[in-house]
Structure 1
Amino acid sequence: MNKLGMNMFVWTMSMDEDLAETLSFLKASGFDFVEIPINDTNLAKWQQIGQQLADVGLDVQACTLCSHDYSLISSDASVREAGVNYLKSIIDCASLAGATILMGPFYAGFKVFTGRPATADEWKWSVEGMRDVAAYAQTKNIVLAIEYLNRFETYLLTCADELVRYVEDVNHPNCRAAFDTFHANMEEKNIGDALRKVAPYLVHVQISENDRSTPGKGHINLEEVFTVLKEVDYKGPIAIEAFGPNPPELAAATHIFRPMFESPEQLAVDGLAFIKKMNKRVIERKSEAIVS
């Protein structure tokens, strides 16, 4: 059975707030884990958060991204080196928090564009840097889950084909793939086929609607997603990712300025119920097919 989780972005970008009630609520609501954003390298902070999560009884995965200052595809070798070192520090923090997966689009600077396609050098720089980062992640028992984004947020990896090529080029057991339905909905001809392509490397799935609201309330064919996940025998974690008007700095980054849902708590409860319903429906359909 897949572990089901909730990304913390609807509450925080930093995990600096007092989230004790929220974490207890998520545990009581039936979530197995939370997906926490790690964007600073305060080791003591993340160790404390890891203990808090352990006390609540929630498993944890981590996510991060890189700014222009830490881009692995920068033409400046010192920036690329800084990016590798920064990601190693983030891995240290994720390990202290108890994470086994660090996911995200950290192969390039987030929302940093040149106005042209990625060059062969940019690809090579990112692959070489990520191979170094993956080797370090292995020493911390963390798997990197590389996430492709839509064309408005990056230009290095924007589809399943590119993601698979990237993972294969990095060629390290601790560099694997993540799949986010929001980005796939924008960039793929067929979400199911894209998921099948990524499946051999897949270690993390984010369920996110076309408008970043409650899973099941938008137009993405999530029943197809869960059908394919069952078809490829995916047993890894599945997290809900959504965004709302808060925190304000995240709303500005994601361009969400109207309410997407009644409350983060209601979104979490409804989203979890929807995922469980989808899983049950897919299992029942598979059983019926075997009987017939």
Structure 2
Amino acid sequence: MSNIQSTEDSFAKVYTQIPTSHYLINNHNGPYYTGDYKLGLNLYSFSHNLSSWLQGSTDGAPPVDTMQLIRFAKEAGFDSVDITAYYIPGYENFTLPTKPVEEIVEYARNIKKLCAELGIAISGTGVKNDFADPNEERRALDIERVKYWIDIAVEMGAPVMRVFNGEIPEDILSQDWETIAKERIVPSLRECAEYGATKGVKIGMQNHGDMTSTADQVIRILEWVDHPNLGVVNDTGCYKKFNEKTGEGYAWYDDIEAVVPYTLNFQVKRKPAGPNTEQLTDLLEFFTRLRYSNYRGYIPLETLWVNADVNHPKYLSEPPYEQICDFLGLIRAAAESTKDHLSSKINR
């Protein structure tokens, strides 16, 4: 962590050598934002290390706990943290929590207290769920779980609860996408949105390369739910053709941009086509397009790892602090270098 500033300086030099006009896009008539963005860390970036801590494992990635990572985020220069609920002791993916609610509330309040002491914001939290599952009891349980964690989000001070729409179910062969979306996903999201509204917590459905793989699918579900407390966690690494394995060759930036007006929060990934692909996100393209929008919220980054990665956390002697700082440096440099170059539309 001691090399954070030098890392950022080196990335800034790289980006300022690239003409911004190369990244300009057509058909933008609105004002171009030249201010700063608030950058965040999604704690899922340290998923392997956090899992080692929660499981008490000494065989995998070096363990690190949630509180340690909040302190790291502040030291690294992040403006916010997304405290995925997975990393609150007692969380379970398929059942309600195994610990007494008093213990979970206390941990959530301690997170809020630490963030307040450090002066770092909490941009959101999230759970795992599957609202496309054919099993009605499973969907009902997931709704109950989301409501439980909305209550914890209130205690933690998280303004957004991230939920998924659901994996593509096996009965997609006998049902069509629209029917499954309208009969399973839409009612579930509406119930969560209504409950969140009573608690002051927005519901952000994340496009995850699942039942919402395209911007069109995202927007149609939003329109069908039709609730002011529902928006999107805009995941830059999950847009692709429906039911395709990866997003290689897809127009990711068009879909990212199309969903921005509905966006409550981001997850900016290193690779736009998925973690098993090679092409890196063009952060200049991303920020240039974003600056034509009205989005002024947090922009959290999230790193994913696959077993083939030589810098996978399980191979490292400490959590991937350096890799996270490197990615933050790239994002910060791209955000900075796109600030002042434009005052009007310039075509490529």
**Distance between the aligned counterparts of 2:280 and 2:308, measured in 1?**
20
Per-residue CA deviations over 1:139-188 (Å, capped at 9, x if unaligned) read: 221111111122xxx2x211111001111111111110122121136447
Aligned twin of 1:10: 45
**Distance between the aligned counterparts of 1:114 and 1:44, measured in 2?**
42
CA contact (8 A) 1:212 1:260 kept: no
| TM-score, structure 1 normalization | 0.80
CA contact (8 A) 2:112 2:156 kept: yes
**Distance between the aligned counterparts of 2:286 and 2:107, measured in 1?**
36
Name the SS of the counterpart of 1:238 in structure 2.
Answer: strand
Which of 185, 188, 199 is the equivalent residue of 1:140? 199
Aligned twin of 1:65: 128
Higher relative contact order (CA 8 A, sep 6+): 2
Q: What displacement does 1:49 show?
A: 2.5
**Distance between the aligned counterparts of 2:325 and 2:309, measured in 1?**
20
Query: Relative to structure 2, which stretch is displaced further, 217-226 or 165-174?
Result: 217-226
Q: Is it true that 1:118 corresponds to 2:157 in the alignment? A: no
Q: Which amino acid aligns with 2:286?
A: V
Per-residue CA deviations over 1:94-146 (Å, capped at 9, x if unaligned) read: 221111012242x22x5754463535045322101111100111122111111
Aligned twin of 1:284: 340
Q: What displacement does 1:32 show?
A: 1.0
Q: 1:286 to 1:77 in 2, by over 3 A?
A: same
Name the SS of the counterpart of 1:199 in structure 2.
Answer: helix
Aligned twin of 1:193: 254
Query: Relative to structure 2, which stretch is displaced further, 141-150 or 256-265?
Result: 256-265
Note the 1:1-292 alignment, pairs <5 A. 1-12=36-47, 16=54, 18-39=65-86, 40=91, 41=97, 42-60=104-122, 61-66=124-129, 71-105=130-164, 107-108=165-166, 110=167, 113-114=170-171, 116=173, 118=177, 120-150=179-209, 154=210, 156-184=211-239, 186-187=246-247, 189-210=250-271, 212=275, 218-244=279-305, 255-260=306-311, 264-287=320-343
Q: 1:287 to 1:273 in 2, by over 3 A?
A: farther
**Distance between the aligned counterparts of 1:284 and 1:223, measured in 2?**
13
Q: Which amino acid aligns with 1:80?
A: R
CA contact (8 A) 2:234 2:260 kept: no
**Distance between the aligned counterparts of 1:272 and 1:122, measured in 2?**
36
Name the SS of the counterpart of 2:341 in structure 1.
Answer: helix
| TM-score, structure 2 normalization | 0.68
Q: Which amino acid aligns with 1:184?
A: Y
CA contact (8 A) 1:180 1:205 kept: yes
**Distance between the aligned counterparts of 1:96 and 1:227, measured in 2?**
36
Q: 1:226 to 1:127 in 2, by over 3 A?
A: same
CA contact (8 A) 1:33 1:59 kept: yes
CA contact (8 A) 1:62 1:102 kept: yes
Q: 1:55 to 1:190 in 2, by over 3 A?
A: same
Q: What displacement does 1:74 show?
A: 3.2
**Distance between the aligned counterparts of 1:181 and 1:103, measured in 2?**
15
Tell me the C-alpha RMSD between the 2 structures: 2.8
Q: What displacement does 1:55 show?
A: 2.6
Q: What displacement does 1:48 show?
A: 2.7
CA contact (8 A) 1:145 1:175 kept: yes
**Distance between the aligned counterparts of 2:283 and 2:331, measured in 1?**
9
Q: Which amino acid aligns with 1:283?
A: K
Quote the sequence identity (%).
22
Q: What residue ranges of structure 2 are gaps of 5+ in the alignment?
A: 1-35, 55-63, 92-96, 98-103, 241-245
